[in-house]
Amino acid sequence: MYTPGDNPQLTGRFAPSPTGPLHMGSLLSALASFLDIKQRGGQWFVRLDDLDPPRQDPAADTQIIASLNVHGLIGDRHNSPDIDYQSDHQIRYAAALSRVQSHLFYCNCSRRSLAGKRIYPGTCRERTAWQTDCAVRLRVDDAEVVFQDELQGSYTYNMASELGDFIVQRRDGLWAYNFAAAVDDGQDVTHVLRGEDLLHVTAQQIYVMQLLELEPPQYAHLPVLCFADGTKLSKQTHAPALNNQNPSVNLRTALLYLGQNPPVEPAWTVSRWLEWGLSNWRMDRIPKRLESYAEST
């Protein structure tokens, strides 16, 4: 059941940042991406987006992997490391950056100087020669980025007027999320299913892929799970970690949030819940808005 699918050209991923243990919102994204790509006959893997050490919890990667394993969400990469770490992709990112060199400039604008500005005003656009103590920005043109999201519908963005030039490498030398995710997803992934809190960065990521002549994946953005006051579950909002002692209960709860109408079967094992999910998964059942998270679940 959980061996690689019969269509290895199709690949999905779950890509958490190791800033803390998984919570129920994380499980929704992991489970949905797993069931969706597996039902298509494709392969699934886990990528830890570990490119921001100041924000990371040293214990989080072990906690994340343990939670995924307990819930039966194990990647298909049996001939390579089970977990893909973005921190291992430094050479890949440097090569990609060199390919878009003609679109780059070096920005020393402070956050304070940009406060209140909707898009970057182009202050440093003429700084095209390498400079120290600068962020690297990608210059955008007047192009439109159009994509069809399987859950959210059609989107069109004018890069210059709506999004503006954006950072691809930070002042401290760390890779920006949008650049690293675009390089990796454009080379390794055909289907990205993630939370709608990342919908707003999709056009920037596709723009990077287009410059690199990579094929963008098919996107689907899930509604995010929130507390009753509307705040998203996250480490910053003190979302409780998944209880790994009750994985079967957690899986049924996640399927319920995702609108899949799971049966009441308290004695089912993790494997049985995943089998049911694979047989019954339907993207069109996912609600436009999720029920508020109840910690009693």
**pLDDT of the residue at 1:** 44
The predicted model scores a pTM of 0.94
DSSP secondary structure letter of residue 43: E
CA–CA distance from 117 to each of 64, 120, 121, 134 (Å)?
A: 37, 7, 8, 19
Q: Domains along the chain? A: 1-100+186-297 (3.40.50.620)
Residues 6+ away with beta carbon under 8 Å from 44:
11, 12, 13, 14, 33, 34, 37, 38, 75, 76
Per-residue pLDDT 10s for the chain (297 aa) are 455 566 778 999 999 999 999 999 999 999 999 999 999 999 999 999 999 999 999 999 999 999 999 999 999 875 555 789 999 999 999 999 999 999 999 999 999 999 999 999 999 999 999 989 999 999 999 999 999 999 999 999 999 999 999 999 999 999 999 999 999 999 999 999 999 999 999 999 999 999 999 999 999 999 999 998 888 888 788 789 999 999 999 999 999 999 999 999 878 999 999 999 999 999 999 999 988 887 654
Amino acid in position 286: I
**pLDDT of the residue at 48:** 96
**Phi and psi of 250, rounded to 5°?**
-60, -40
In angstroms, rounded to a whole number, what is the distance separating the alpha carbons of residues 20 and 283? 28
**pLDDT of the residue at 5:** 62
**pLDDT of the residue at 3:** 54
**pLDDT of the residue at 7:** 76
**pLDDT of the residue at 178:** 97
Q: Which of 165, 48, 146, 155 is nearest to 105 (CA)?
A: 165
C-alpha distance across the termini of the chain, in Å: 28
Q: Which of 271, 272, 297 is nearest to 74 (CA)?
A: 271
Q: Which of 33, 44, 39 is nearest to 83 (CA)?
A: 44
